[in-house]
Amino acid sequence: MKFAWLCILFPFIGVLCIPLLAKINPKIRNAAAVFFPSLSALSSLMLLPYLFNPESLPMESSYVWLSSPFIIEFGVLVDPLSIILANVVAVISFLITVYSLGYMKGDPGLTRFWILVNLFIGSMLLLVLSNNLLFLFVGWKLVGLCSYGLIGYYYRDEEKYCIGGPPPTKFVTPTHCGLKALIVTGVGDLIMLGGFLIVFYYSGTLNLMQLYHTSSQWISEMSKTPGMIVLISILLLAGPIGKSAQFPLHEWLPEAMAGPGPVSALIHAATMVKSGVYLVARLIPLFYYGYWVSGSGEASAFFIITAWVGAITAFVAATQGAVALELKKVLAFSTVSQIGYMWIGLGMSGLSQSVLVSGTTSGIFHLVSHAVFKACLFLCAGSVIHAAHSIYINQMGAMRKYMKLTWIFMTIAALCLMGIPPLVGFWSKDAILLSTLEAHSIPIFIIAIITVVLTSFYTTRFIGMVFYGPKSEHVKHVTEKEGHIHEAYKTMWSTCGILSVIIIVFGIIGPRIEHLMTLAFRSSLTGSINLPISEGTAHPVNYHLLVAVLSISAVLMGAIPAFILYILRKGDPSKILKKSPFLQIIHQFFWRRWFIDSFYNAIFVKGTEKLASFVAHTLEDGWDTIIHRKLPDLITRRSYNILIRLRTETDDLLYNLGYILVVFIGLIAFIFFTFL
């Protein structure tokens, strides 16, 4: 248990040490900023053996934090879910801090960067290891805050750090993006807080294990109020929807790419955006119990919403990724889309008693694999952007000549994203597709397959545009002006290399990992939480084969045209686009992000501004005039001739004092005559 505590504690110690060490020597500061996350990673690895022995789980350790007006404990919960998440967070965070040593070299705000990164790591670990909803929420809020600080890291809003464009598409500043992320995710957080509090009202506890164990009482109580479980499903899902950038709160993530490269990899791909997936997985047993044991039909809403939100998001984001030109934005859309897959998997887990374990496993397995390959993709993207001095993929081209290692690593990660066997992405995505089939959700299965086509299209497209084809004018300009474009620093490419190796190794042992996770989740869900599952959880063989064939066919359907257009360069995509008005409309629709962002901007941003202006200039000013101008005038002019005389004959001050006196005396007289 102590490793779980240490895991959380180390990065927070780092937060306190970094500013002090910065005063001594920047090198010591940098070393400390990597050292503490490394200790966290080590501590989390020490928890891994428990996964092989899931019967000993869950383990809890806690201290009383608050005893009145109600008891709240500050504690950690070690179970399969938290062990997996803690390892993903701690290990990837450590690798990304190593990468940052090179990427952020010489940055003047490095102390701030390291403080925020360490604070983020600590908070994220608090989120996944906490044994109760309150401290989970503390971590939740803190990671959001760190994300805000790191997206707007380049707070001077210099032009080179703005994202968006190319003209006529407008640019947005990093601080604007940070604020947007904070507010959009904040909406979800607060609605979710409402959900937590309603759960607390019915259950009387915030402790996760107690919530599971007492669910028979409080869920039955809750289901007595019609609509309550549907309401609570919506409220509780709002937080994860915001944090994991799912439809309809997904619009903040593409803009979050304004932060430094490692931040995008760490927070907006590998870890923070997964916290929503984590929380949904945490909540599954509660609603599963409500639906399958308590017999409350309303509880199925939780799973249906989860699955459909995931499916819609996966598709919508993939279409946007297919037309985006900023490298990091392509990856951001891809992240949103891939998290949608995880949601599909988790949503499936409650729709059939036989899918509980496989659905949960598939969602979390994809979370792990995505964290690795997307972190690798983002870090490689950071190196490429660093070298090419451009954020646009159409301003790159032929980069493989200059950055061989980065090219190799990024290609491996990209193949993994597409779902090419035997890389880990193939296994995890297939697990999700399989669970949709098992739950007989054919519409969602179809959407997921179409999204596979889109995923392989946009992945091949960006790899082709970045590394293949002729040099763009921009690359020529950079090589002429600033000399040779060179490979990234050693700390940077070596991190990408390690992640690629993990992708390959995890790919080779993918089925074994899935099996291990299945056993762990089965033990946790049916053992300690005691949920009933139906027999026949073994997958029918024909489903396995069907899914593999369909998924590989879908990958090829997307990859082949993109390969011809962007790698072989046979045909000009822009000419094809010009020829077809239909394609142009579709392209514009996707480029403008389905007009969702513009719609939100018009309704929520401009609408609130207009409402605020109405309140301030019409309501408030009007009421102020009535109370502070008209009313005194009325009283003085119409009713009190003496006061008029006072005002005209003497100065303003006396007039006012007289006014006060009369009001006061009148009031006292009124009270005495009325009540006494």
Contact set with another protein (CB under 8 A): 65-70, 134, 137-138, 141-142, 145, 148, 152, 155-158, 173, 175-176, 179, 182-183, 186-187, 190-191, 193-194, 197-198, 200-201, 225, 235, 608-609, 611-613, 615-617, 619-620, 623-624, 627-628, 652-653, 656-657, 659-660, 663-664, 667-668, 671-672, 675-676
Host H or E run for residue 354 = none
Calpha distance 44→5 (Å, rounded): 10
Residue 574 or 648 with smaller CB distance to another protein: 648
Minimum gap (Å) between residue 607 Cβ and another protein = 11
Q: Which residues contact 429 (CB under 8 A, 6 or more apart)?
A: 341, 366, 419, 452, 551
Minimum gap (Å) between residue 211 Cβ and another protein = 15
Helix (H, G, I), strand (E, B) or coil at 172: strand
Residue 599 or 623 with smaller CB distance to another protein: 623
Minimum gap (Å) between residue 287 Cβ and another protein = 19
Calpha distance 333→317 (Å, rounded): 5
Residue 583 or 665 with smaller CB distance to another protein: 665
Q: DSSP of 571-608, one letter per residue?
A: S-HHHHHHH-HHHHHHHHHHHTGGGHHHHHIIIIIIHH
Confirm if 393 and 326 have CB atoms less than 8 A apart. yes
Residue 31 or 611 with smaller CB distance to another protein: 611
Host H or E run for residue 627 = none
Minimum gap (Å) between residue 199 Cβ and another protein = 10
Minimum gap (Å) between residue 619 Cβ and another protein = 8
Residue 177 or 309 with smaller CB distance to another protein: 177
Residue 211 or 434 with smaller CB distance to another protein: 211
Residue 440 or 617 with smaller CB distance to another protein: 617
Minimum gap (Å) between residue 604 Cβ and another protein = 10
Q: Give phi and psi for 66, each to the nearest 5.
A: -140, 130
Host H or E run for residue 413 = helix 404-418
Minimum gap (Å) between residue 236 Cβ and another protein = 13
Residue 141 or 400 with smaller CB distance to another protein: 141
Calpha distance 144→138 (Å, rounded): 10
Minimum gap (Å) between residue 61 Cβ and another protein = 19
> Tokens at residue 63, please?
């201290």
Q: Which residues contact 348 (CB under 8 A, 6 or more apart)?
A: 303, 307, 355, 359, 362, 432, 435, 436, 438, 439, 441, 444
Minimum gap (Å) between residue 675 Cβ and another protein = 5
How many alpha carbons lie under 13 Å from residue 565 in its C-beta half-sphere? 17
Confirm if 168 and 253 have CB atoms less than 8 A apart. no
Calpha distance 537→415 (Å, rounded): 30
Rg of the chain in Å (alpha carbons): 29
> Tokens at residue 675, please?
């009540």
Residue 222 or 555 with smaller CB distance to another protein: 222
CA distances from 86 to 79, 217, 254, 278 (A): 10, 31, 25, 11
Residue 142 or 564 with smaller CB distance to another protein: 142
Q: Give phi and psi for 60, each to the nearest 5.
A: -130, 150
Minimum gap (Å) between residue 278 Cβ and another protein = 19
Minimum gap (Å) between residue 269 Cβ and another protein = 24
Residue 59 or 183 with smaller CB distance to another protein: 183
Cis peptide before 260 (omega within 30 of 0): no
Place of tokens 């891809």: 334
Calculate the dihedral angle through the C-alpha atoms of 655, 657, 661, 662, rounding to the nearest 10 degrees.
Answer: 20
